[in-house]
Every structure is written in C-alpha cells, then in structure tokens.
Chains A and B, each alone.
Chain A
Amino acid sequence: SAVISQKPSRDICQRGTSLTIQCQVDSQVTMMFWYRQQPGQSLTLIATANQGSEATYESGFVIDKFPISRPNLTFSTLTVSNMSPEDSSIYLCSVRQGESRYNEQFFGPGTRLTVL
C-alpha cells in the first residue's frame, strides 16, 4: 500500500491569489494524479502528473490555471492559480504503483480549499 499526505489539509484564500498543494508519498510510485471534488459533486480528474515532463491535463483543465510539478517519484505539487470562488473544492492526490490498471489506486486525505 501507499500512504499519502497532503499539505495543507485546508485553507481559506482570497480571490485572485494562488495556492500550492503538496502531495508526498511514502514510497516510489509510477502514476500520480490530481482530482477535484466540488461541493456535492463527484471526483473529477484534473491531470496526470508525469515525472520530469509536463503533466497531462484532462479536457477543461489547463496548465496556466493548474500548474503541476513532479520532481521525483514520491512528490508532486498542484497550484490553483488566480483563484475564484468557483475553485472552492477538495483537491485530492492519488497514486498507483506501476502502470498496470490492475494495481490499486490510493488517495490522499485531500485539501479543502475555500475561496472568498
């Protein structure tokens, strides 16, 4: 299994500012993902964080708004840029060891973001 920690666990931010969320895993993992869970809604995949290269974004998400870094196999960051109240969500880091779809996907505890 993989143990995932996220910082911060929650934050309240002002409109127009940016917040960087950190994801740390206790073991090396191949796949890292970032999800958004808006209030009362399901989890939506934002992007796949690729080590040493640009992240792969899903439709509706762009790098300028959600820049992602992944410097190594255990760490990634997601920045929410120029925030608006619509960005208020829980942001979750998720990992999978190995590329095989049969491997379990683990989720972090999430970062609860409120934008005023």
Chain B
Amino acid sequence: DAKTTQPTSMDCAEGRAANLPCNHSTISGNEYVYWYRQIHSQGPQYIIHGLKNNETNEMASLIITEDRKSSTLILPHATLRDTAVYYCIVRPLGNAGKSTFGDGTTLTVKP
C-alpha cells in the first residue's frame, strides 16, 4: 500500500469548513483514497473514498488532485462533534485486506 503523509494537527472554528490535506505521491493507478476518523475512545469510522473524481456524501467531500498525488477531505460546516483523528489511507478497491493507518491528523473544532 502507498504511504500517506498528513499534518499532525489542525484547528477549525465551529461552523467553518475544515480542510484536511493528505499527500500520497506514490499512489498506484488501481489504489483508492479512503478516509476514516476516530473519535476519542471509539473505533475508527469510515467517511468517504474516491479514485480520481471528486466525491461527496452526507458526511464530507473528497477532492483528489488531477495527478492523484494528494487529496483534501472537506467537512463543510464543522461542529464540535467532528473533533477527532482523521486517517487517510490508500489501497486497491478490490483488496479488502490490509489498510495501513498512519498517524492521522488530529482535528480540533473550537467554539
């Protein structure tokens, strides 16, 4: 699996958009970008994934650069409950096996 690089921590004001970057410069053509988050003391939770097109669901939006070497997870209106560690992972869609979780980004949403 390709390695990812994320900032250690970020702050965001409540109600504002939170933009979490991820670098995956060694991503392969068949690898998807997945995002999970882990709220304190809970198990990680799937948020969204994408291959090369921008994706949106009820939780977030995912913007992937044209060269696929980086992506940004966007929480459009962050709330205090979005405070969590956010993990960016890359792996092939058909490979339900190994997902390597890095250190992630600790997002703190402040009032």
Whether A associates with B in a native complex is no
